[in-house]
Amino acid sequence: METLTLLGDKVDLLVKRHAELEKENSRLRATIEGQNKAIQRLNKKVATLDNGMGSVHLGHADISDEEKDNMRRQLDGVIAEIDKILTTLND
């Protein structure tokens, strides 16, 4: 009889652990989905900036230093955001 009680306790513990893991799994899936959306948004932004850079190179051989610095800051910001997201995905 004591064996059955011990077995029942172990089953209860496993059921509780399973429920906790299911909650964590759902939370992680939601986090991944949000990060994937953010990555898609950032990729679109990079593509837009890249297209802008291409048209600048084609249309204007002489770009002011201020324009270069502005584009560089924008690209650095986008790349930094992508790095943050990739870091959190790897955690």
Chain segment 15-70, per-residue pLDDT in tens: 999 999 999 999 999 999 999 999 999 888 888 887 777 665 555 556 777 887 88
Across 21-58, b (16+ Cβ under 10 Å) vs e yields eeeeeeeeeeeeeeeeeeeeebeebbeeeeeebeeeee
How far apart CA 29 and CA 21 sit, in angstroms, is 12
Enclosing domain of residue 47? 2-90
Tally of structural domains, the chain:
1
Check: pTM over 0.75? Answer yes or no: no
The predicted pLDDT at position 86 comes to 83
Which residues neighbour 68 within 8 Å (Cβ) at sequence distance 6 or greater?
A: none
- The mean pLDDT value for 1-26 works out to 93
How far apart CA 39 and CA 42 sit, in angstroms, is 5
